[in-house]
Amino acid sequence: MDTGRLRRLWKRVFSLAWPVMTEQVFRTAMRTTDVLVTALFSPAAVVAIGLADLYARFPLRVGLGLGGGAIALSSQDTGAGAEASRDEAVTQALVVGVLAGIPFVLVGLFLGGPAIRVFGASSEVVDLGSTYLALIFATAPARHVALIGARSLQGTGDTRTPMYINIGANSLNIAGSVVLGLGLFGAPELRVVGVGLATAAANVLTAALLLGAIATSWTSASFAWPRSLVITKQLLQVSAPRVAEGFAAGLAEFPFNALLLGFPAGEAVNAGFQIGRRVYQQVTGPLSRGYNVAASVLVGQSLGEGDPEGARFAGRGVAALGLVTIGAISVVLLVAAPEIVALFTDDPTTARYGGDFARVYALVAVGLVAFSSLSGALQGASETRIPFVARTTGMFGGFLGVSWLVGEFLGYGPVGAYVGVGVAYLWMALVVVWGFERTGWADRAADMMAERGTGGGTETDSEATTD
């Protein structure tokens, strides 16, 4: 391994990733604030927000999926110097994102109650969860625009503009959740409604600011009138597996959460899962997201420049950096989990399960960061099918299947969920490692660039010398 080259790569990774990490700190802090504020009301409020968030992840997954297509085409065309094609891909992704958000608005307005009721939760949880869900789904089109716009700009190498916008919007979201949720400084005490209103307002603000940045000379990307059906086809071709991957993960969580609620002390187990996962995501999520985006940008731009060997080196280097940094953080979390979880709840049963789940996530951190980094690398190469297979089989086979087998069928209760979570993420990591090392993703990217007329070089993956 060329250590000098690796150091240079890591410096570039940090230059791209730190703005993503910083904005993600604020995003996860916003979600953590929501949990902290609702925990002051009741465990039922925590469960309600957690169950509603299961549905709220569907527009998130659509936005991330379309954003995945946008960042792949944006990074490759940036590397190839094909600005017109890049701008058209960005515009098309945003238009599709707005249209894809409309059905969620209707679901939130008319089907919120039945959606929460399917978990068999109490009437209080149903009332709180459906109200929160309606508020979040009302801004699904804006959420899609925010996610797609940010990733489109990141694909050009501009990770700072999305950071500035997201930090500002999420800071207002945090303040709004506290002030409106708790009724501070003369504001009405709206509780769960206040938390939902703050999030909805932040979604709209983020979308508006990103659209403004793209429309002006602030960024290198611009809007372009959609004309090319090839770009449309490729955008959907890359995005569809990412959207399906997210939907599969979301669908698996529904019976998983129902399984947790069915255990003795079910609400405490479920609340502990929500809190334990939130603790892990708060301390490691920003780094994972940063590495995912950096890998997409570096791999995509290297392929656009006609350098598949450099793309392969970049993917491996980002994954190695993730293992070193997140691995170290997870050791600390493994030891300090009970103390951190205690910040979220004073209910001893919930705290015990929350600490256990946080430790489980810490133990499988290496699998999670490997999956996140190499999924980003494959996404930059327009190869989103392998991560789809990895996550779908991991979530249904491990997260849900093993959890049910050990927890319900064999009677081990929440221990089965701990095992299922661990198996799921380690399996997902193994699949993407195999996909990155053994499949012809660079050739696939070269073929797609040639189809839309933006190839950056002639050397293919099979012709490159790997290190």
* Rounded distance between C-alpha atoms, residue 179 and residue 185, angstroms: 7
* Rounded distance between C-alpha atoms, residue 387 and residue 249, angstroms: 11
User: Cβ contacts of residue 153 below 8 Å, gap of 6+?
Assistant: 74, 159, 161, 162, 210, 213, 214, 219, 221
Amino acid identity, position 242: R
Give me the mean pLDDT over the 330-346 stretch: 88
- pLDDT of 404 higher than 90: yes
Q: Tally Cβ neighbours within 10 Å of residue 189.
A: 12
pTM confidence score: 0.85
Give me the mean pLDDT over the 12-37 stretch: 88
* DSSP 8-state class, residue 463: G
* Rounded distance between C-alpha atoms, residue 412 and residue 415, angstroms: 6
pLDDT at 456: 52
Can you tell me whether residue 395 is helix, strand or coil? helix
Confidence of residue 250 (pLDDT cuts 50, 70, 90): confident
Answer yes or no: are the C-beta atoms of 86 and 156 closer than 8 Å.
yes
- The structural domain count of the chain equals 1
Evaluate the CA torsion angle 174, 179, 180, 182 in order and state its sign: positive
pLDDT at 1: 56
Please write down the HEC assignment for all residues of 53-103.
HHHHHHHHHHHHHHHHHHHHHHHHHHHHCCHHHHHHHHHHHHHHHHHHHHH
pLDDT at 27: 82
* pLDDT tens column, 213-222: 999 989 999 9
* pLDDT tens column, 145-191: 999 999 999 999 999 999 999 999 999 999 999 999 999 999 999 99
* Rounded distance between C-alpha atoms, residue 11 and residue 4, angstroms: 11
The parent domain of residue 131 ranges over 3-463
Q: Is 123 exposed, middle or buried (0-12, 13-18, 19+ CB in 10 A)?
A: exposed
* Rounded distance between C-alpha atoms, residue 23 and residue 204, angstroms: 17
- pLDDT of 258 higher than 80: yes
Answer yes or no: are the C-beta atoms of 381 and 312 closer than 8 Å.
no
User: Which residue in 129, 31, 42 sits closest to 346, CA to CA?
Assistant: 42
Answer yes or no: are the C-beta atoms of 382 and 370 closer than 8 Å.
no
User: Which residue in 169, 173, 142 sits closest to 62, CA to CA?
Assistant: 142
- What is the residue-averaged pLDDT of the chain? 91
Answer yes or no: are the C-beta atoms of 281 and 362 closer than 8 Å.
no
Diameter of the chain measured on Cα atoms: 68
Confidence of residue 201 (pLDDT cuts 50, 70, 90): very high
